[in-house]
Structure 1
């Protein structure tokens, strides 16, 4: 209820607040138009503009919100009639009830658990086709409604890839692209056009990366697109690897909430050093009891460890469909590729005395 609108009350504007509402009923408020900056009202508070309606004058001279008495009526500083909204406002930095943020997944991959011998071989636990947990954010408030998971094209070139290597080499390529992007951002902020900035980034990129491992033209197009988005470093890494076919998507989860309403989602991924690594992980895990209870983990905490040598030797490759990978390999028979892979792992295991 609200009465006494005969006088305009001068007051200090309230601290900038925001609000969110799941208007389409899909379980979050990460779509455009479902978050808004609140308007200051003349009593010093704030009012959400989403689903706002005019208050109704009662015979007593008071005003009531037709949405329910629990929603206060107020006059916005830009308005003249009392109005109300069913959605609450909060300050982004409020200690209680502000924006809740999930930390960015920071998985460096499987750590080394043993020393390296003179030949460069690991003397600890061997992990084959080991991956790395990462995430990319879909369109939402945190990305200014840009889809950072969008397929950017095959930026990182894929070859056979060593089954025993981690995702580190491929991630190094992704980080190299990011180095170029940073140079592009610097030029962009200095007044260059998006194309000029991307050209600057391309020069930095080519200096720092073996060009045979990278699709330069796709990377340049990616730079131009990224210059106008709010995607962070891990968004870019993940999108590059995902677009190159090296990631398994575990699922979607909420990374940011306003008053308990989700305003930003992300997709958790396991990314590997090659497309082959991803395919064998996807088709090999169901064959092993060790993964039966865990699978791929959760979207928020993907489980991306590699196979042990014993687990890899237990895999039945005759039950795997590797056609997705074979189409990219020229002049090599399917049986030859399988034999080469198995022989390489067996030889390495014998060398390690396993």
Structure 2
């Protein structure tokens, strides 16, 4: 049994939904995924008005930046690497967490709901696209045509753990481009979107406290990470969000990041140490994969098989009564939503503070 930080690494129950040899494990286990890839996804997401309204309404990214980043990254890593029972449980409790993020749009008419399928599709596609983009730009490079086809098929499979429909997930790069073109007129860099994007670009907010003599290095790491993430964003998006960065920095940061990630990837334990600095709770999810600890049962399941075996409803159908009560509290009674989902999620997604 492999050990990490003096403790035995607990195996997953099974291989989950992808397993060894899958393109998902190949891309998501590279150090670009939890760093530039993940940061890019949460930054780009904020351009969607309903999503940023939900983010702004809960204030989680401002009041508990580090734990919010940690919990969100843990969830995405679980879908990629964890056992089927863990993933089903996480997806189920996430519906209850998102039921808190409802309200009236701060700009214009209408309401927002973090469980809305359109918002969930936006999160799913920006996340998976950003992870792949960072892998291609700062990692080993382009996938083969067969690998890319598998990647987007896997994205559709993973969408079954969101409230969106997997049928709406494009199955190739052309389809992904078409989706973002359709979304572009709906995107908006409102004041709360710009505030959230700049906040989330500050990697220093999610790094652990350091001794005074390490602060200069910490600042360099955070600044370089910000440059690398901005360099992955298209010009029109940066202009919309009023994010400035020279083309020279865009070019210079590429070899720096490629070399840094390649060196980190030489040692699984170094990768896990660096991951622990960004997202401590994600280490236990990734460690069995990085250290070659086999699951208790060597099988890969489909989402339908997993839900039947473990007794969970599809996320789109889960907790309908609870979500309805939340809507009555917010839209009918004018009260804040219940925190029940957040409280219950700590066992699965990690502590809130």
TM-score tier (shorter): under 0.3
TM-score, reference length from structure 2 = 0.25
TM-score, reference length from structure 1 = 0.24
- Structure number with bigger Rg: 1
Identify which of structures 1 and 2 has the higher relative contact order when contacts are C-alpha pairs closer than 8 Å and 6+ apart.
2
More strand by share: 1
More helix by share: 2
